[in-house]
Structure formats: C-alpha cells, structure tokens
Amino acid sequence: MKKIGVLALQGAVDEHIQMIESAGALAFKVKHSSDLGGLDGLVLPGGESTTMRKIMKRYDLMEPVKAFAKEGKAIFGTCAGLVLLSKEIEGGEESLGLLDATAIRNGFGRQKESFEAELTVEVFDDSPFEAVFIRAPYLIEPSDEVSVLATVENRIVAAKQANILVTAFHPELTNDNRLMKYFLEKMV
C-alpha cells in the first residue's frame, strides 16, 4: 500500500489524511525532514502560504522537500501548496520552485470572494469536479513543461508537471476523491 505524507505544519491536514485514506493509501503526518523517509508521495495542504513557508524554514524542511521531489517522488499541492510549489510567487516571496509557473496569491480576491465552481478537469472523462475556492491563488506563465488541467475565467487552477500536481482549490473539502486517486494511481 502506498504511503503518503501530509505536511502537518498548518492548514487542512486532517482533511487531507481522510482523503488519502478514502483513496486507498496510508497517510502520515510530516513535521520533520526525517518523516519523509519511506514515503511514496507528499501533500502540501491548503492554509496560509507565508506562514507555512516560515515554519518550513524554521524546521529546515525547504531543502528536504526539494530533494524529495528531485528523487522523482510525487507532490500534490492544494491552494497554499500550489503557491509554495511554484517557481515564482508574484511579489517575489521565496518558494520551492518545483512547478515552472508563477503563482498569484489570493488571485480571486479576499475571504469574502471565496466560491464554489463546477470544473472540467482534463484528466477526468466523466462528471465535473465541484471545487471549493477559499482565498484562492491561480497560475500564470506556465512553461511548455506544465500541463493545464483546469481553468476558471481563463485562470489556471489545476496543473501538473512531471511529478508535481497542484490545485488552487480544496479537493479535501469535498467528498470527491478523484484527484487524490489520480495522484495515487498516475503520479505516485
């Protein structure tokens, strides 16, 4: 059975653990670099990207997470995870630089502009995905290496590149585990 870690510093950790388990894998909380050993994949959950980055730096997790990805292990970033994984963040904040695109933080507005939308996700042939956007980011300027999986108002809200999958929305806040299953079956 696949072992997936969830970066457990801040954000929707328990919801991601439940989603991973519902998709048929074992889930583990990751708080230190030593927790990455033996994992097949890693989830960077939604939350507040600046806070998560500061905690990652304090616990010396930035370089170990980069090394994890460079070993070819899959990483799934949701919302703040998308921001942290992007090559650049508008405004020049430091990121992990693993997805060749620029993240626009709070791209759809503040908390009161949060919304839900039915998305057509390129990797699903069946029904739309009900996506929950909370102070959501989006991506711009993806390189040719980045595959766009979904857009809202012509803004990129789901993408993948090699072993990196990102969403601007929160799939863990729904009962639809198709994205997690896709991550586990196609990327891990």
Q: Cα–Cα distance between 33 and 139 in angstroms, integer?
A: 28
Residue 79 annotated among the catalytic residues of the structure: yes
Q: Cα–Cα distance between 18 and 171 in angstroms, integer?
A: 11
The per-residue pLDDT for range 18-45, each reduced to its tens digit, is 999 999 999 999 999 999 999 999 999 9
**Given its phi and psi angles, is residue 25 left (phi above 0), alpha (psi -120 to 50 degrees) or beta?**
beta
Percentage above 90 pLDDT, the chain? 89
Q: What is the identity of the amino acid at 11? A: G
Q: Cα–Cα distance between 6 and 156 in angstroms, integer?
A: 24
The per-residue pLDDT for range 139-163, each reduced to its tens digit, is 999 999 999 999 999 999 999 999 9
Phi and psi torsions of 131, nearest 5°: -105, 140
Q: Is the pLDDT of residue 112 over 90?
A: no
What pTM value is reported for the model?
Answer: 0.96
Mean of pLDDT values over 53-81:
97
Catalytic residue among 48, 71, 116, 172: 172
Residue 170 annotated among the catalytic residues of the structure: yes
The per-residue pLDDT for range 84-99, each reduced to its tens digit, is 999 999 988 899 999 9
Q: Which comes out higher in pLDDT, residue 111 or 10?
A: 10
Q: Cα–Cα distance between 103 and 99 in angstroms, integer?
A: 10
Catalytic residue among 15, 94, 145, 170: 170
What value does the CA radius of gyration of the chain take, rounded to a whole number of Å? 15
Catalytic residue among 21, 71, 79, 113: 79
- Tell me what pLDDT residue 110 has: 81
DSSP string, 38-106: T-SEEEE-SS-HHHHHHHHHHTT-HHHHHHHHHTT-EEEEETHHHHHHEEEETT-------EEEEEETT
- Tell me the β-bridge partners of 116: 132
Residue with tokens 């970033």: 77
Q: Cα–Cα distance between 107 and 6 in angstroms, integer?
A: 24
Domains of the chain: 3-187 (3.40.50.880)
The per-residue pLDDT for range 68-77, each reduced to its tens digit, is 999 999 999 9
